[in-house]
Structure 1
Amino acid sequence: MEENKLREETLTTSAGTDDLKRVFQDRKRTNILNTAEQKTISYLVTRVPGFISSNMLTFTGTFGSVLVLAGFILATYLLDRNYLLLGVLGLAINWFGDSLDGRIAYYRNIPRKWYGFSLDIIMDWVSTVLIGLGYMVYARGKYELIAFVFVVLYGWAMIISQLRYKITDIYSIDSGVVGPTEIRIIVAIILVLEVVFGHLIEYFAGGICITLFMINIIDTRKLLKLGDIRDSLERKAKKNAA
């Protein structure tokens, strides 16, 4: 009951705020590119044509991931690494759609918080699987396993963000100074380096997996501490109410 009241108060308060401030009111960002990213999104949301809906932007982001998959497939079967540059374009499109879908709804003051949240998470997972599948096609021999590990670790990170939201009522998609935007940029740089030098992507992909594993371990420990704190607070509240 109190949780529903809090959410109702949040929505009522946000309805009276400035349009651009309302764009970011539903989440907390800590990534290193946060300031530049928010300025860019604030600029773009005012220029997206009215006929383009949040759902269209969500599927645009997913289409970007399809391009990444296509880049890996074409580079593999046409034996031309230059097709990997299609993946760089795909990552940019993915950022555009994924970053603006929810923001445009808040800017227009027509948010569908739980519908949008659910759709966004599902399509983010689909995008992750598509990119992982693309790398699996491109990778040589035993390095295919790295694609599976990447998908598992990124899925683990997504689960952590959802559980943190459940425990704290604060939605954050970042792990410290690293968020999805930074990961896209890192992957794009790796693709460019692979085009230029060749046969480096396996080592970079392995490095990303090791880094993600370490971040997930740290974030999982933090999450469990938050859960323990909330449990203690709820026990005290029940004791005081008795």
Structure 2
Amino acid sequence: MTKPLERTVAPLSRIQQNVLARSERQLLNWLCARMPHWVTPDFLTSLGMVGAVAIFVGYAASGFSVSWLALALAGYAIQWFGDSMDGSLARYRQIERPAYGYFIDHSCDGLATLLILAGMGISPFVRMDVALIALAGYLLLSVHAFLSARVLGELKLSYLAAGPTELRLMLITLTLMMMMLGATPGLFGAVSGFDVFVGTVGGVLILLFVFQTLVTGRRLALRGG
């Protein structure tokens, strides 16, 4: 009796050159060795999404009271733990499911980013159109990463020496500034300093997408395919 064919997924070369990569890897390995057996990668992925929902609620409710931003800060910690640990624990326990893990992890990343930036846009601190520019930048760079994984076999996890953890730290700092300064009047008419920061990050991501597209296109052209 023949067995059904199983789809195999070619291993990807993970490129991670962010500043905190080595220290974070040491911490994650330490945590993996101490995780109870009942904590599974799927549980951690779900926990990361709970953190993303908490961030959304914290930002969205900050129009009623700035104290809600404390929930967003807690959400960032939860989201980092779940998002960073799920794949690490699977690799540590040697229970990886490459296709499933790749699909679920990046799907959740996209949804989590939407929740974070939508929450910011609903808050009194960042305009929705500015938040959408940042979301567009993230999604464009994600498109590049996924295309590079397909045509080059490389999954790029960091740009300009920064990765998801560094970006979370920037957003945590931004949230702390929101708590300290409140919804201050705009520096340039209707545009606040928070708008400038989030819009600048979005613009940088879009420019990185354009630059990386040109670089990757040249690499493919030079190798003839």
Query: Normalised by the size of structure 1, how large is the TM-score?
Result: 0.80
Higher relative contact order (Cα pairs below 8 Å, separated by 6+ residues):
2
Give distance in 2, aligned partners of 1:158 and 1:96: 21
SS of 2:154's partner is coil
Superposition deviation, residue 32 in structure 1: 1.1
Matching residue of 1:184: 168
SS of 1:185's partner is helix
Asked if 1 retains the 8 angstrom alpha-carbon contact of 2:157 and 2:163, the reply is yes
Give distance in 2, aligned partners of 1:206 and 1:171: 26
Matching residue of 1:62: 49
Matching residue of 1:201: 194
Gaps of 5+ in 1: 11-24, 235-242
Give distance in 1, aligned partners of 2:74 and 2:214: 36
Asked if 1 retains the 8 angstrom alpha-carbon contact of 2:140 and 2:206, the reply is no
Consecutive aligned runs of 4 or more in structure 1 exceeding 4 Å deviation: none
Give distance in 2, aligned partners of 1:154 and 1:160: 10
Asked if 2 retains the 8 angstrom alpha-carbon contact of 1:64 and 1:91, the reply is yes
Structure holding more helix per residue: 1
Give the alignment of 1:130-209 within 5 angstroms.
130-139=115-124, 143-198=127-182, 199=184, 200-209=193-202
Matching residue of 1:22: none
Query: Normalised by the size of structure 2, how large is the TM-score?
Result: 0.86
Superposition deviation, residue 223 in structure 1: 2.3
Give the alignment of 1:37-48 within 5 angstroms.
37-48=24-35
Amino acid at match of 1:159: V
Give distance in 2, aligned partners of 1:51 and 1:26: 30
Give the alignment of 1:1-242 within 5 angstroms.
7=10, 27-76=14-63, 78=64, 80-139=65-124, 143-198=127-182, 199=184, 200-230=193-223, 232=224, 234=225
Q: Give aligned pairs, total.
A: 210
Task: Tell me the C-alpha RMSD between the 2 structures.
Answer: 2.1
Superposition deviation, residue 221 in structure 1: 1.7
SS of 2:172's partner is helix
6 and 212 in structure 1: CA distance in 2 versus 1, 3 angstrom threshold: closer
The farther-off stretch of 83-92 and 197-206 is 197-206
Asked if 2 retains the 8 angstrom alpha-carbon contact of 1:54 and 1:100, the reply is yes
Name the % identity. 25
Give distance in 2, aligned partners of 1:5 and 1:147: 38
Matching residue of 1:239: none
Give distance in 2, aligned partners of 1:148 and 1:206: 9
Amino acid at match of 2:107: I
49 and 26 in structure 1: CA distance in 2 versus 1, 3 angstrom threshold: farther
Superposition deviation, residue 81 in structure 1: 1.5
Residues 108-143 of structure 1: CA distance to partner in whole angstroms, max 9, x if unpaired?
A: 1110011000000110111011111101111469x2
